[in-house]
Amino acid sequence: MRALRTAASGMAAQQLNVEVISNNIANMNTVGFKRQRAEFQDLIYQNVERMGAQSSSQGTVVPTGIQVGLGVKAGSVYRITEQGTPAQTGNDYDVAIDGRGYFQITLPSGETAYTRAGNFSLNGEGQLVTDDGYAVEPAIQIPQDAVDVSISKSGQVQVITDGTPEPQVVGQLEIATFFNEAGLESIGDNLLLETAASGTATPGVPGDPGFGQLLQGFTESSNVDAVSEISALIIAQRAYEMNSKVISTADEMMSVSANVKN
For the residues 235-245, what does the mean pLDDT come to?
95
Q: Is the peptide bond before 138 cis (omega within 30 degrees of 0)?
A: yes
CA distances 179 to 81, 174, 214, 221, Å, are 12, 17, 20, 23
Q: Which pLDDT tens digit goes with each residue over 190-221?
A: 999 999 999 999 999 999 999 999 999 999 99
Question: Over the chain, what is the mean pLDDT?
Answer: 92
For the residues 145-170, what does the mean pLDDT come to?
90
- Say what the pLDDT of residue 261 is: 64
> Residue type at 128?
L
Give CA angle at 28 (25, 32), nearest 5°.
Answer: 130
Handedness of CA 255, 258, 259, 262 (dihedral sign): positive
- Say what the pLDDT of residue 140 is: 93
Question: Which residues does 52 contact at the CB level (< 8 Å), separation at least 6?
Answer: 61, 62, 65
- Reference 120, options 133, 107, 138, 111; nearest CA is 133
- Say what the pLDDT of residue 225 is: 94
Q: Return the percentage of the chain with pLDDT > 90, whole number.
A: 77
- Say what the pLDDT of residue 244 is: 94
Q: Return the percentage of the chain with pLDDT > 70, whole number.
A: 99
Longest CA–CA separation in the chain, Å = 104
- Reference 172, options 200, 141, 132; nearest CA is 141
Q: Distance (Å, rounded) from C-alpha 97 to C-alpha 213?
A: 6
- pTM assigned to the model: 0.85
- Given a cut of 90, whether residue 150 has pLDDT beyond it is yes
pLDDT band with cut points at 50, 70 and 90 for residue 257: confident
- Given a cut of 80, whether residue 260 has pLDDT beyond it is no
Q: Which pLDDT tens digit goes with each residue over 13-44?
A: 999 999 999 999 999 999 999 999 999 999 88
- Say what the pLDDT of residue 197 is: 94
Who wins on pLDDT, 163 or 178? 178
Q: Distance (Å, rounded) from C-alpha 189 to C-alpha 80?
A: 18
Handedness of CA 9, 11, 14, 15 (dihedral sign): negative
